[in-house]
Amino acid sequence: MGHLRMGPKIRGVLKGSAPPTGGCGANRAAFQTLKNNGGRSIVGKKYVYMFSEGNKDMRELLGGKGANLAEMTKAGMPVPQGFTVSTEACTQYYNDGRQINDDIQQQIYDGLAKMEEICGKKFADPSNPLLVSVRSGARASMPGMMDTILNLGLNDTVVEGFAKFTNNPRFAYDSYRRFIQMFSDVVMELPKPEFEKIIDQVKEEKGVKQDIELTAEDMQELVRRFKAFYREKKGEDFPSDPKVQLMEAVKAVFRSWDNPRANVYRRMNEIPYDWGTAVNVQQMVFGNSGESSGTGVAFTRNPATGEKALFGEYLINAQGEDVVAGVRTPSPISHLKEDMPEVYNQFAEIADRLEKHYKDMQDMEFTIESGKLYMLQTRNGKRTAAAALKVAVDLVDEGMIDEREAVLRVEPKQLDALLHPQFDAAALKAAKVIGKGLAASPGAACGKVVFSAEDAKEWADRGEKVVLVRRETSPEDIEGMVVAQGILTVRGGMTSHAAVVARGMGTCCVSGCGEIEVDYDAKFFTLGGMTIKEGDYISIDGSTGNIYGQAIPTVEASISGDFGRFMEWADKARKLEVYTNADTPRDAKQGRSFGAQGIGLCRTEHMFFEGERIKAMREMIVADNTEDRKKGLAKILPYQQSDFEGIYEAMEGCPVIIRFLDPPLHEFLPTKEEDIKEIAGEMGISVEKLHAVIESLHEFNPMMGHRGCRLCVSYPEIAEMQTTAVINAAINVTKKGQYKISPNIMIPLVGEEKELKFVKDVVVATADKLIKESGIDMKYEVGTMIEIPRAALTADEIAKEAEFFSFGTNDLTQMTFGFSRDDAGKFLNYYYENKIYESDPFAHLDQKGVGKLVEMAVKLGRQTRPDIHLGICGEHGGDPTSVEFCHRVGLNYVSCSPFRVPIARLAAAQAAIKYPR
């Protein structure tokens, strides 16, 4: 039997049921430049804030990091002082053509002067130099996506003084070489690996293996070589004026807001481009100044499980980047208790205070300089979905927040991670663990091994499931990490880049499995005596850290325990009902188990493809008279009817909205010559006849062609058959006595009241007759989809006939934008790159344009029929920002694919809490 190629309508529909990945919320329309007072700088406007001037509520202006540094300063915590250059300065930088204007430069220098006073040290003063870090800090945290420069303020003279002042030349020159390396990479875009090569050369010449074994003289040698390399590449000397260094570094951080990885991250996390980043200039404290110094990252609760206990890692004699980059494997924070008990106690006390203050789990960075603790940052910690639920529920039980606040604490999209499969327990028992890493981000993943982000993307694009195996990941790997089922790294702890990013995405990750020997060139790795090549299957468990050298089947998740309790709170808060899109009893049951209150869209065409059905369908299509067409339809009828019975029963009497046939008929016919021959034979017609039918169904633009209700206008017998199937199924199930079914029939692609009336008349005549004959009392409704702009514009007239509306925002989006949902993927990337569109309008509802049509139709529909039931069943029905919009415009329900039902329930609850109606 030849394989039927699905047409774009059907393919689009099936494809559409998967949750969209990329995309960015906000639904902002086209914009070319960042917004800030029409692009002009305001004289006298304040762009620079000392830490002592801000507070936690100023994150829009100061970014998250800046606002929290200010808040900690206010609370008297040990924070190295400095200032924040505001997000508005960033937008001004872009509006000024990527320049920092004189006014802002002056404010930065003034900030520096105040900082010198506060710190009692002077910038560029060799006798006791003030060194600073320059770090990004957007409103929403974007870990590792933007740039940071440490140890700024050093040059050949200052470093000498610094060496004397600290009485530690090795440390001074180590700081200097780190600065040259970072500044060259981040600000001047000289590739980091080149510097690593120079370090390797020096290590080889000195016969040492670790950086730590290099002496002060070696560090001086590194400085010399770095600077020579810089001169060679840049044709000029490394900038020695600290003020120039500072301004260039601030510019680089602003610039990094627009780097490719930040753009990818923003799109993924729905962070608007026009927010911009703030820049924090902070006094350096040195975790790398000896054995009584160190640096670390810690959470007030476990970010993977939510368990209440200080959780984190630190490295002695290291700078912050060493922990996050995962180059050295750090020690757990609990060891600090033994290493430096006083520092540990002080840190634990601060952590506790911060959590109580913010009433949420905190993620903190700290540095210990010669035994003294400094807090470098605190923020609400990123966490896995399981941890987010546990923390939210625990905070309620601890009396810190109420149930409604708890509902706001979990990102709807995160729930996805809990709804997806775990390893099948029996298969897992039989599987052999070949190694173990850190359980960095939970869930189960199984896929073919790839060793680079590029390969991950390429393989995933062709439909392969992959596990990305890396020594460590860096922000450049983001695109590969997004598409991977799971991520496995050789190096790095729980706060390494791979771990943090994977948790944010809800992707399973096992990190820091040091036993893995990986060969990128030959594309294989060895572990536990096994050699695993590119393309071999492995499975990883992000909840245990276990690694298996084989494929392990997975099983579905369920909603219970904390999850169940939390969802009850969400359900209490929401106003929108949540339905599911389901075409089969299986999908219906799945949706129901995730809490769907009905089916908002049952696409009947999906039932026509299996086995004998497609044959009957084709028989109907090739018929050239009504009688033959009815014969074909009569064969389809029993299949449809029994499917509907199954669906009604699966939904246990909840509302079910059945949509009539929608795609153009040619999608049911073959396209390849060999299939045409085979199918003509099976149907007992000539190849010429089948060709002629295919030819006659050809359309230049099938999405705007003979489809939807237009099919029933041409062939009312289709509506008769489908009505018969819907009503008879309802009668049969009702007669069984358990459920009383009230069918809902939905007519697609209506653009004109009379068109709807024409089809509705056929439906009503057929249904009334059947109900009368059955002798039972059955109510039913006939409604329509609003998916053509004209339907939205004339919704008052359409509502005279339609008893309900369901916004088909897939079609409504394609028809409003005038681009096809199947083709837009080819060019939309250019639109994102050029900042014309910020997100995929098929994933996030375009509130400005399409949304305006929805709002208008809501108003017009209710004007005619005040109690009209209004919902949405396009893909947007499961997208949190679009659900919020649906709540705000007053829809009654949203409908989405089964796996997105809990996401929609939570999004609806959050919308109701934020926008009471």
Q: Which is nearer to ligand PEP, 629 or 659 (by Cβ)? A: 659
In whole angstroms, give the CA distance from residue 902 to residue 887: 16
Q: Which stretch binds ligand PEP (CB under 6 A): 571-579, 804-812, 830-838, 856-864?
A: 804-812
Q: What are phi and psi of 143, to 5 degrees?
A: -55, 125
Question: Residue 821: helix, strand or coil by DSSP?
Answer: coil
- Residue 224 in marked binding region: no
- Residue 352 in marked binding region: no
Among 808, 861, 878, 880, binds ligand PEP (CB under 6 A): 808
Binding at 411: pick from ligand PEP, Mg ion, none (beta carbon under 5-8 Å per type): none
Q: Which stretch binds Mg ion (CB under 5 A): 215-223, 465-473, 802-810, 881-889?
A: 802-810
Q: Which stretch binds ligand PEP (CB under 6 A): 222-230, 314-322, 376-384, 805-813?
A: 805-813
DSSP single-letter state for residue 473 = -
Cross-strand pairs, 408: none
Q: Which is nearer to ligand PEP, 287 or 600 (by Cβ)? A: 600
8 Å CB contact between 247 and 100: yes
Burial 217-227 (b: 16+ CB within 10 A, else e): ebbbbbbebbb
Q: What tokens were used for 766?
A: 């057929």
The answer to whether residue 91 forms part of the interface with ligand PEP (CB under 6 A) is: no
Binding at 649: pick from ligand PEP, Mg ion, none (beta carbon under 5-8 Å per type): none
Q: In what order do the strands lie in the sheet with 444-450?
A: 433-436, 546-548, 537-541, 444-450, 466-470, 486-489, 508-511, 438-441
Closest alpha carbon to 472 in 445, 502, 443: 502
Binding at 174: pick from ligand PEP, Mg ion, none (beta carbon under 5-8 Å per type): none
The answer to whether residue 810 forms part of the interface with ligand PEP (CB under 6 A) is: yes
Point out the catalytic residue in the list 24, 90, 446, 497: 497
Q: Which is nearer to ligand PEP, 257 or 644 (by Cβ)? A: 644
8 Å CB contact between 653 and 599: no
Binding at 601: pick from Mg ion, ligand PEP, none (beta carbon under 5-8 Å per type): ligand PEP
Rounded least distance, CB 808 to Mg ion, Å? 4
Rounded least distance, CB 672 to ligand PEP, Å? 25
- Residue 667 in marked binding region: no
- Residue 645 in marked binding region: no
The answer to whether residue 787 forms part of the interface with ligand PEP (CB under 6 A) is: yes
Binding at 395: pick from ligand PEP, Mg ion, none (beta carbon under 5-8 Å per type): none
Q: Which stretch binds ligand PEP (CB under 6 A): 61-69, 283-291, 310-318, 808-816?
A: 808-816
Q: Within 13 Å of residue 145, how many CA atoms lie on the same side as its CB?
A: 28
Q: Which is nearer to ligand PEP, 479 or 667 (by Cβ)? A: 667
The answer to whether residue 115 forms part of the interface with ligand PEP (CB under 6 A) is: no
Point out the catalytic residue in the list 24, 873, 886, 896: 873
Rounded least distance, CB 654 to ligand PEP, Å? 19
Q: Are strands 444-450 and 537-541 parallel, antiparallel or unpaired?
A: antiparallel
The answer to whether residue 13 forms part of the interface with ligand PEP (CB under 6 A) is: yes
8 Å CB contact between 870 and 858: yes
The answer to whether residue 667 forms part of the interface with Mg ion (CB under 5 A) is: no
Question: Residue 446: helix, strand or coil by DSSP?
Answer: strand
Binding at 874: pick from ligand PEP, Mg ion, none (beta carbon under 5-8 Å per type): ligand PEP
8 Å CB contact between 357 and 72: no
- Residue 811 in marked binding region: yes
The answer to whether residue 667 forms part of the interface with ligand PEP (CB under 6 A) is: no
The answer to whether residue 662 forms part of the interface with ligand PEP (CB under 6 A) is: yes
Q: Which residues in the 299-328 window bind ligand PEP by CB under 6 A?
A: none
Give just the sign of the alpha carbon dihedral 690, 696, 698, 701.
negative
Q: Which is nearer to ligand PEP, 11 or 630 (by Cβ)? A: 11
In whole angstroms, give the CA distance from residue 811 to residue 595: 27
The answer to whether residue 787 forms part of the interface with Mg ion (CB under 5 A) is: yes
Cross-strand pairs, 781: 744
How far lies 678's CA from each of 1, 297, 617, 618, 669, in Å?
Answer: 7, 65, 16, 13, 12
Give just the sign of the alpha carbon dihedral 786, 901, 577, 647.
positive
- Residue 261 in marked binding region: no
Binding at 809: pick from ligand PEP, Mg ion, none (beta carbon under 5-8 Å per type): ligand PEP
In whole angstroms, give the CA distance from residue 481 to residue 414: 16
Closest alpha carbon to 675 in 4, 86, 16, 82: 4
Q: Which stretch binds Mg ion (CB under 5 A): 96-104, 169-177, 804-812, 848-856?
A: 804-812
Binding at 617: pick from ligand PEP, Mg ion, none (beta carbon under 5-8 Å per type): none
Q: Which residues in the 717-736 window bind ligand PEP by CB under 6 A?
A: none
Q: What tokens were used for 405?
A: 């606040």
- Residue 305 in marked binding region: no
335 a catalytic residue: no
Query: Residues binding ligand PEP: what is the number (CB under 6 A)?
Result: 12
In whole angstroms, give the CA distance from residue 72 to residue 122: 24
Q: Which is nearer to ligand PEP, 493 or 877 (by Cβ)? A: 877
Binding at 13: pick from Mg ion, ligand PEP, none (beta carbon under 5-8 Å per type): ligand PEP
Among 811, 846, 879, 884, binds ligand PEP (CB under 6 A): 811
Closest alpha carbon to 62 in 276, 265, 297: 276
Query: Residues binding Mg ion: what is the number (CB under 5 A)?
Result: 3
The answer to whether residue 816 forms part of the interface with ligand PEP (CB under 6 A) is: no
8 Å CB contact between 276 and 305: no
The answer to whether residue 809 forms part of the interface with ligand PEP (CB under 6 A) is: yes
Would you list the DSSP string of 114-161? Answer: HHHHHHT-EET-TTSEE-EEEEEEESS--TTTS-EEEEET--HHHHHH
The answer to whether residue 709 forms part of the interface with ligand PEP (CB under 6 A) is: no
497 a catalytic residue: yes
Among 381, 598, 808, 871, binds Mg ion (CB under 5 A): 808
Binding at 603: pick from ligand PEP, Mg ion, none (beta carbon under 5-8 Å per type): ligand PEP
In whole angstroms, give the CA distance from residue 599 to residue 292: 63
8 Å CB contact between 672 and 2: yes
Instruction: Write the single-letter amino acid at 868.
Output: I
Q: Which is nearer to Mg ion, 667 or 787 (by Cβ)? A: 787
Among 601, 697, 733, 788, binds ligand PEP (CB under 6 A): 601
Rounded least distance, CB 675 to ligand PEP, Å? 24
Burial 703-726 (b: 16+ CB within 10 A, else e): bebebbbbbbbebbbbbbbbbbbb
Return the residue matching tokens 């929609």. Answer: 904
Among 455, 811, 838, 875, binds Mg ion (CB under 5 A): 811
Q: Which is nearer to ligand PEP, 144 or 878 (by Cβ)? A: 878
Element (H, E) at 46: none
Q: Which residues in the 22-41 window bind ligand PEP by CB under 6 A?
A: none
Rounded-to-10 torsion of CA 117, 119, 122, 126: 150
In whole angstroms, give the CA distance from residue 357 to residue 160: 43
Burial 188-208 (b: 16+ CB within 10 A, else e): eebeeeebeebbeebbeeeee
Q: What are phi and psi of 272, to 5 degrees?
A: -65, 140
Q: Which is nearer to ligand PEP, 107 or 882 (by Cβ)? A: 882
Among 177, 227, 267, 603, binds ligand PEP (CB under 6 A): 603
Q: Which is nearer to Mg ion, 562 or 787 (by Cβ)? A: 787
In whole angstroms, give the CA distance from residue 478 to residue 504: 12
- Tell me which residues are annotated as active site: 497, 873
Binding-site residue numbers for substrate are: 603, 659, 787, 808-811
- Report the interface residues with Mg ion, using CB under 5 A: 787, 808, 811
**Residue positions forming the annotated binding site for Mg(2+):** 787, 811
Annotated binding site: 603, 659, 787, 808-811
Q: Which residues bind ligand PEP (CB under 6 A)?
A: 13, 16, 601, 603, 662, 787, 808-811, 873-874
